[in-house]
Structure 1
Amino acid sequence: MTGPVHQPIEFDLEGGARGALPSWPARIPALWVVDAVRHGDRAERLAPSILDAGEQRRAESFVASADRRCYVAAHVALRMLLGAWLGVEPRDVQMVREPCPSCGGSHGRPAADGGVHFSLSHSRDLSLLAFATVPVGVDVEFVPNGRTAAKVGAMLHPAESRELAALPASDRPVAFARAWTRKEAYLKGEGVGLARDLSLDHLGTGPVPRPGPAGWTVADVLVPAGYAAAVAVLAAGQPPVEVPP
């Protein structure tokens, strides 16, 4: 899966997800993209009957209406898709957090009953959802400005920092966003997130990702201009990588 760019399905909140989701090979994630500008109003109308109390409190905590709209659209779509897969109403989907492999705390990968693994990411007006039969992580980010790319890029793997430094300044934000989304997708798949040192894994800044860390495959995801996205999937039959405390 290293190299090809994955094309996500655009989720239609008007039509929803009818019937069970199709099965897919363990190494291939199913991906959906949600446009909060197109579907935000519909999602907010559906939210009271779909989201649980915790999700509704979280949505209400956002100060910016655009952030709230994106969160609601993403989580309504997530529950609709999981409900279709599990054969239950979206509001009845039970979601928990697995133990963190780094510290054992209750903030590891999100999980649902029924043998489906999922991951969710949102940025600005766009959300990306991934589902697989094995642990999966996904990330989407709005491409940052040059100052942010330079500041955070220095925290990446030394080889990635050198790759960025060798590029013209105008090309660095997009290259940084590629590296960042690949890295965060992998770390979310592991269940540790940014608790793992960003300098430990070399996933590359170029148009094609480097081979993923042992036991994982990493690929870019096709998203609208101005964004970057990636997905990481645990290779079939491979245990998660041991993450030091």
Structure 2
Amino acid sequence: MRPGGTPRPREAAAPLARPQLRDVHIWELDLRHPPAHAFDLLDSGEQERARRFVFAIDQTRYIAAHGWMRQILGRYLGRAPQDLTFIFGPHGKPALIGRRDDVSLCFNLSHSLDKALLAVSNGMPVGVDIEAIRPDLPDSALAAGVLTEGELDELAQLPPRQQTAVFFSCWTRKEACMKALGLGLALEPKTLHVGMMPARQRVIADEADDFIDVSPLPSPSGHAAALATLGGFGKVLYRQATASGRPD
């Protein structure tokens, strides 16, 4: 998909009910199937970034991910996707600005290859991560750079055939925590201990005013995924953006 085409009219799609307090909605996005007129849903900065991609597949995935994000958030807010405005924290995490209703809707986007996840909450900082599992990882340098000593010991005790999937599950939980804090890789991953067991747990970080509630998520085949919030989350509702161009 290349940028271009007839601009999409500025209109809000059918509304979506916001998540209840402390609940999270997780949207699974297939980046091979962008929403209609996806490029025209983006603001000028996003469009310029899309144009700079060297490879068409990367451009397609970026446009699809950000087009879906704008369309879905617009439905929660009753706004046209093009009318949403974002600011970026000191470490690059985006947030909505504008109307009071806009500011209180929290979200986080993660994508890997053709899959993406969008987490949406109502006033609760949230982080989500999805990673395509690479069979050549982890190598010793990567593992030593992101795992605590305890996690390295746990990983070494696993059968070699299990280590890759377990490592990626651990990594997504760390990444989700760092994104919930709004710090990303500004926080050293090895300062967070989440262990090798893929279970929901509370993580304490010096940078957080409250505990981090982190859990693995169901993920597409060949991927690992995780969700994290500050102070604990309630129900998680899974939804999918459909190839027809409208999220269900």
Scaled to the shorter chain, the TM-score interval is 0.7 to 0.9
Please identify runs of 4+ aligned residues in structure 1 that moved more than 6 A.
none
Alignment of 1:65-214 (within 5 A): 65-98=56-89, 100=90, 107-113=91-97, 114=102, 115-133=104-122, 134-155=124-145, 156-213=147-204, 214=210
- Aligned pair count? 210
Percent identity over paired residues: 37
State the 1:48 CA deviation: 3.3
The RMSD of aligned alpha carbons is 2.0
Rate the CA distance shift 1:179–1:24 in 2: closer, same or farther, 3 A: same
User: Given the two structures, how large is their TM-score scaled by the length of structure 1?
Assistant: 0.79
Q: Which has the higher strand share?
A: 2
Of 56-65 and 164-173, the range deviating more from structure 2: 56-65
State the 1:149 CA deviation: 4.8
State the 1:174 CA deviation: 0.5
SS, match of residue 154 in structure 1: helix
2:14 paired with 1:19: yes
User: Partner of 1:4 in structure 2?
Assistant: none
State the 1:47 CA deviation: 2.6
Deviation sequence 1:13-66 (CA, Å, 0-9, x none) = xxxx943322323322111011122x14xx4x5133210111112122222222
Deviation sequence 1:58-117 (CA, Å, 0-9, x none) = 12222222222221111001000111112110000011113x3xxxxxx34311132101
Instruction: Write the distance in 2 (CA, Å) between the matches of 1:168 and 1:54.
Output: 47
Counterpart contact for 1:118–1:132, Cα < 8 Å: yes
Instruction: Write the distance in 1 (CA, Å) between the matches of 2:231 and 2:57.
Output: 36
User: Partner of 2:48 in structure 1?
Assistant: 57
Deviation sequence 1:207-245 (CA, Å, 0-9, x none) = 3244233522111111111100111111169xxxxxxxx
Gaps of 5+ in 1: 1-16, 101-106, 238-245
